[in-house]
A = this chain, B = another copy of it.
Amino acid sequence: MGFLASNHVLIADNLVGVRGERLLFEKLNFELSNGTVLYLQGANGTGKTTLLRTICGLSKPYAGVVNWCGEDINSLAEEYFKHVLYIGHLPGIKEDLTALENLKFSLALSGKAISANQATEVLNMLGLAKGLNLPTRMLSQGQKRRVALARLWLQELPLWVLDEPFTALDVNATSLLKQKIEAFANEGGIIVMTTHQEVTLNVPKFEQLRLDA
Contact = CB atoms under 8 A, between A and B. Distances in A.
Contacts of A141: 44, 49, 89, 164
Contact of A44 (B45, B138, B170): B170
A59 interface: no
A143 B20 contact: no
A146 B20 contact: no
Nearest to A196: B170
A140 B139 CA distance: 25
Interface in A145-186: 145-146, 164, 167-174
Contact of A174 (B20, B127, B146, B196): B196
A196 to B, nearest CB: 5
Interface residues of A, number: 34
A209 to B, nearest CB: 15
A43 interface: yes
- For this chain, the copies found in one complex come to 2
Interface string A34-52: 0000000011111011000
A45 B164 contact: no
Contacts of A27: none
Across the A-B interface, the 7 shortest Cβ-Cβ residue pairs = A44-B142, A45-B140, A43-B170, A45-B143, A44-B170, A44-B143, A170-B196
Interface of A: 19-20, 42-46, 48-49, 89, 127, 130-131, 134, 138-143, 145-146, 164, 167-174, 196-197, 213
